Amino acid sequence: MSERHVLTINAGSATLKIGVYRAGGPGGTAGDPRQLWRIKIDRLGSDEAELQASGADGQRLGRRLGRRSHAAEALDDLLDFLGEAAPGLAFSVVSHRVVHGGPELHRPLAVGPAVLDVLRGFSPLAPLHQPHNIAGIEAACRAFPDALQVACFDTAFHRGQPRVNDVYALPPAFYDEGVRRYGFHGLSYEHIAECLPEVSPRLAGGRVVIAHLGNGASMCAIVAGRAVASTMGFSALDGLPMGTRCGQIDPGVLLWLMQSKGLDADAISDLLYNRSGLAGMSGVGADMRTLEASTDPAAAFAIEHFTARIRHETGALAASAGGIDGLVFTAGIGEHSARVRAEVLRGLRWLGFELDETANEAGGRDHDGDAIRRITTADSVAEAWIIPTDEEAMLARHGLDVLGSPEGKGRGG
């Protein structure tokens, strides 16, 4: 059988992350798909978008792109890059991260026009992502018409959470109509949960809070690897403040905005999704690197609020999990901001966390790149870890699984 290749597409709010994989382990042996290229287009929405690519053979390439408004626009840059870096590469499957799968779609599946129609219906629930995810699928269908297109849902990991944490205190008819706590970042949580047995057997069987801190940010409690509760709910707005999103807010504020300020739904949506969070609070920017470099007191205050909210949610999620054995930091801020991790953990001694300052400063990188690191002392009662997320690896595996299932048979070359 000829070699099968997988393309993974992860269109975030400010980044487009791509993986190119070959099925099987090194040399075509059985095992996890092997990554050939990792490509990231960063700072979308600014005038400074850039493409960075690293290859399995140590190649490193960077390219300034200038202004790119969103992920679908940047996909053309990616196709140009692949045309040069890996000419003639044929993909059997293109596996897409899709933020919202609604109440029914709780496993990866092949996408055709009918599924795309269903996914479009969830766009109002995740306007920063779902339209880009769909545009990515449409673009990939055009670029790779012979490949199987697979959608993997960020909501899927949470679908098994207990009903008591899945509902709002509304009449049940709303739940039946789909007004539920979906939770997001599920591919990232699934990856972390799969890492835990090797990282710490105690945590793999225990009560863990995972903090996925990127431009979008959420936290999830897992017990013995299974989702119990999440800070995100019906939409990707709830929970922690994010780059430009408000996070948790009293619904009374929305009523006040409508009734006293005369704002309509579009204006409120723009405020809550695009003009709030770290950017809105600080007036300096949405990007944690920009905030950390700023001398503006409003930037420092936005970081202080962000870390206070993470501590608050850690306590709440620990209550949902019946205690806490470990806290995992992941995604851009979680992996790279020693300041955020330190501010969080210094305030969590009461939960048994004893920060190891040196390990924390060393962070989630070593000479080989991303690294898993424990950042609490050896005698700390509870453990804190940096575990780099890898949504792309999950996408590649799920894509191949669907390709090998009856659903994918005879498809994808």
Q: Which residues bind ligand ADP (CB under 6 A)?
A: 12-15, 214-216, 243, 287-289, 292, 331-333, 336-337
Handedness of CA 157, 277, 170, 268 (dihedral sign): negative
Phi and psi, residue 256, nearest 5°:
-65, -40
Q: How many other CB atoms are found less than 10 A from the CB of residue 292?
A: 16
Instruction: Report how far residue 336's alpha carbon sits from residue 338's, in angstroms, rounded to the nearest whole number.
Output: 6
Specify the residue, 277 or 347, whose C-beta has the smaller distance to ligand ADP: 277
Residue 384 is classified by DSSP as: E
Cβ at position 24, least distance to ligand ADP in Å: 28
Q: With H, G, I as helix, E, B as strand and everything else as coil, classify residue 212.
A: strand
Cβ at position 291, least distance to ligand ADP in Å: 8
Specify the residue, 11 or 321, whose C-beta has the smaller distance to ligand ADP: 11
Instruction: Report how far residue 39's alpha carbon sits from residue 386's, in angstroms, rounded to the nearest whole number.
Output: 22
Q: With H, G, I as helix, E, B as strand and everything else as coil, classify residue 284.
A: coil
Instruction: Report how far residue 254's alpha carbon sits from residue 268's, in angstroms, rounded to the nearest whole number.
Output: 8
Specify the residue, 9 or 288, whose C-beta has the smaller distance to ligand ADP: 288
Specify the residue, 244 or 314, whose C-beta has the smaller distance to ligand ADP: 244
Cβ at position 126, least distance to ligand ADP in Å: 13
Specify the residue, 288 or 317, whose C-beta has the smaller distance to ligand ADP: 288
Q: How many other CB atoms are found less than 10 A from the CB of residue 2?
A: 7
Cβ at position 216, least distance to ligand ADP in Å: 5
In the block, residue with structure tokens 């690896």: 393
Dihedral in degrees, nearest 10, Cα atoms 226, 230, 389, 142: 100
Catalytic residue annotation: 154
Specify the residue, 247 or 412, whose C-beta has the smaller distance to ligand ADP: 247
Amino acid type, 301: F
Instruction: Report how far residue 217's alpha carbon sits from residue 185's, in angstroms, rounded to the nearest whole number.
Output: 8
Return the closest-CA partner of residue 281 out of 309, 252, 261, 258: 309
Cβ at position 264, least distance to ligand ADP in Å: 28
Query: What token pair was written down for 66?
Result: 């200038």
Dihedral in degrees, nearest 10, Cα atoms 15, 215, 157, 318: 160
Specify the residue, 204 or 210, whose C-beta has the smaller distance to ligand ADP: 210
Cβ at position 286, least distance to ligand ADP in Å: 7
In the block, residue with structure tokens 């013995």: 224
